[in-house]
Amino acid sequence: MSVKKAVYLIGLVALLSCDVPEKEQGIQLNYDYSNSRSAARDDITRHNIIVNPNVADTDLDTNMSATVTVPVDIAMTVDYKNYALQYPDIYYEYGSSNPFTVTYNSPDSLSITILTSVNSNYPVDEIIDEEPIIDNTTIDNETIDNVTVTDNVTGYTDNKTWNDNFTYNVISTQGQKTAWIDFWDNLSISDNWTYISVGNIDNVSFLCDNTTVVSQIITQLQNDNMTNWTTPCDNVSWVTGGCGQGIELKATGLSDTGDCRCNNPGDNVTTVRPAIRNTNWGGVGDSCRAPTQSLEVILKK
């Protein structure tokens, strides 16, 4: 099955208020395709967005829009999934935005780009290749022109992926620790990796597409640097440092950039530390005795 990835544009409109630490946001998603990718693409009946951390979980209306109230000065992300008529309980396409923050000084309109993928487990026999088209997006009578569409399939020529399954209250194994270390040791800085992402499998929490930052992260993990190290990328702090018997990797929208931390469910942070050799192997949000989940790190170039 050929899987095509596209970029969807979401516009967030902030109605400014200086009296309370929240803003009412209008969220609109517009997109179109020149050809049908599959029968499922024609039968999409539900478009769902989740604004994290724990801000809103809502479906878009027939105009592909919704209104939610969001906090100010808090890093947030938007997760998108859509559902087709034939399998209403299985999402067809999905994607997550980079972290963003709304402040009192934010402009009236903010735009967010989401790279989307087709769920590889969706029961579709065939997907037809075509170039995605995104029309000019109108947000509260304001138009964003000259939208650049990037095809994520052709944007990178190679990738390396680490992932593993972790169980609540079960110690990470020596094999998981070894696989984590080997993944980083087998990379080469000279390969010029340009992209890194962390999160659950098929659900990216954070990504960075800065070659310099990605090379620095690889170097820290290859050198087993137990000293707390951090660098920013697109308003996200990428952190490495020692925890237990090995090195951890963390991406966070929080102000705390220390290593070996226990975060809470809903915190805007993803931690990966299988080398710790105890039950605090990391997770999305909660990072100590976290719920059962699969964690993933992807590098691209």
CB 21 within 8 A of CB 72: yes
Whole-number Cα distances in Å, 283 to 15, 107, 268, 271, 289:
34, 33, 11, 5, 9
Q: What pLDDT, in 10s, does the model give residues 207-234? A: 999 999 999 999 999 998 889 999 999 8
Q: Is the dihedral of CA 106, 135, 119, 5 positive or negative?
A: negative
| Structure token digits, residue 295 | 């964690």
CA distance 249 to 240: 5
Confidence category of residue 281, pLDDT binned at 50, 70, 90? very high
What does the pLDDT look like over 226-264, one tens digit per residue?
899 999 998 999 999 999 889 999 999 999 999 999 999
Same domain, yes or no, for 245 and 165? yes
> Can you give the residue range of the structural domain that contains 273?
159-300
Does the residue 256 lie in any domain? yes
| Band of pLDDT at residue 31, cut at 50, 70 and 90 | very low
- % pLDDT > 90, the chain: 42
Same structural domain, 139 and 166: no
Domain membership flag for residue 31: yes
Among residues 117, 118, 126, 122, which one has the least CA distance to residue 39? 126
Q: Given this model, what pLDDT does residue 157 score?
A: 81
The reply to whether 154 falls in a domain is no
Task: Give dist(CA 237, CA 206) in Å, integer.
Answer: 10
Query: 63-72, 143-152, 292-301: lowest mean pLDDT where?
Result: 143-152
CB atoms within 10 A of CB 225: 14
91: CATH: 2.60.40
The verdict on 130 and 213 lying in the same domain is no
pLDDT (0 to 100) of residue 124: 55
Residue 198 banded pLDDT, cuts 50, 70, 90: very high
Q: Are residues 129 and 171 in the same domain?
A: no
Residue pLDDT, tens place only, 64-97? 777 778 888 888 888 888 898 878 888 888 888 8
Q: In sequence order, which residues have a C-beta less than 8 Å from that of residue 280 and are 6 or more positions away?
A: 243, 244, 262, 273, 287, 288, 289, 290
212 in the same domain as 177: yes
